[in-house]
Structure 1
Amino acid sequence: MDIQHMVYFVEVVKQGSMTKASEKLFIAQPTISKTIKNLEDELQLILFDRSKKSLKLTDAGKIFFEQCNEIVNLYKDLPVMMDNLLGVKTGHLKIGLSPIMNVKKLIKILADFHNCYPNITYELIENGGKTIEQSIQIDELDVGITALPVDNRLFQSFPFYEEELKLVVNKNHPLADKEKVSLIQLENEGFILFNENFYLNDIITDSCKRAGFIPHIVSKISQWNSIEEMIIAQIGIGILPKSIIEMLSDDVRSVSIESPSIVWQLGVIWKNNKYMNFVTKEWLHFMQKQLDSK
């Protein structure tokens, strides 16, 4: 067994398929299949339950994956660790962020950081909060920006900003000219929400339940501009963050919600108990310092 065998195995697990893993690694599928078989023979363990339609790890496979994943990550981090020892201020940072956040606030801090560390590059990946957490857990992202609170057994975090959520309706809707509405007034409305991958969906649904009703959901979408278009078409209503509402057209109106009001807090999160490279460490320190100075 060598590190390359572990790399193949870890990629098969992450992709859920030997075919997809071979495409990702640019390796012939028979080579990967043979490697997995050799690993099982060497360990004298069955790593995958092949009775299922899709690849599923056995209990032994799950334990082996956890250990392999740690070893592979350490192997990949070795060049960065050496750079850290030598004080080389270069590297790459993968940040997961919500598509329904005030991205200008993040970009401003990122620009200031870039001025200090011009040799560091970035990859910004938009996704729902639940996917961001999963991606951090399997080391596909270094840090994420998502709704707080998070499970502190899995993640460390600090607050980024808090934002009011407001009702958004078509300009001709009966509630369009109201200054405020109670949440219970929306009981008979059709809601257009983000899909279940977004914590905003949970926040809105839970708030409605606490107000005394289960929201009637007419559609679930992953893009806020699609929600806007459906509101303009009078298909339903939406509840969106204030910073997103500021970018909407004049064909919609926003109304404050009370009884109860709804807010959400976004935070910066990263994986617990993981070696932190220079880039991630500096970025988190820099961002927290910028936020504390506001």
Structure 2
Amino acid sequence: MLNKELKYVHDKNYMQRHHKLQPSMRAILLDWLLEVSEVYCLHRQTAYLAQDFFDRFMLTQEDVNKDYLQLIGITALFIASKIEEIYPPKIGEFAYVTDGACDSWDIRRTELHILKALDWNLCPETPISWLKLYAQVEAQKDDENFLVPQFSQEMYIQITQLLDLCMMDIRSLDFSYSVLAAAAFCHFSTFDIILRVYNASGLTWESVSECVRWMNPFMDTLRSEAKPELKTFAKVKTEDRHNIQTHVTYLDFLVNCPLSPVVAVPPVLTPPSSTEKPANH
């Protein structure tokens, strides 16, 4: 996992290569992708893979127009779902949620473009990968199978909500995914437990403390909101429901978060018809 972090590089400064784009546009796109993910009961890992594909793809491009962002984002989610999901939605369903902005041919063409740009490097360790490791190490008992999740689902979804919110801020790309997950974990665990978790990752408090401080305003914002509740999804087992990506009003949270790059601006994307799945797909 540590070696992968050396291979899969992300950098927030890619925004300087795209003069027509703003950090708020990325946040709006990722918020929309989280909403689509919940509608189709996609896993958190799928959503985070899509975010990684999007950011690394943008690092290889120059002057992408804002009108192209939705197509890049939905294609990244399409690719991620084929990697992570047992039964990924059909390409027509991804086209459907763009409300006519993209069709299946657009997604196919953009898929090839993204895959070539990423040189088919599609298996990063996301913040979700690291968070599961930390949570399992913290909860592990000597007589239990390490491969069977032992951590609290309720606590896990609180940490993932913090990660979701932070991930939408482009400044999160200043940190490695292992550090992002560890910092989020720190906000819900004692330092003594974190020390034990760090032994599995090679991280030290010095390497994580800056990210913990950066997350403080996001955590303060979430404290003023109701705690997330485990949702029930059709055809999703009770023991797996914490792994399904959920969506709340993250853009509103970001607007209320100090120093956030998101302000109260009108959306630049066509909102998906995400109250229910299409009946004929």
Higher strand share: 1
TM-score past 0.5 threshold: no
Structure of higher RCO (CA pairs closer than 8 Å, 6+ residues apart): 2
Higher helix share: 2
Bigger-Rg structure (1/2) = 1
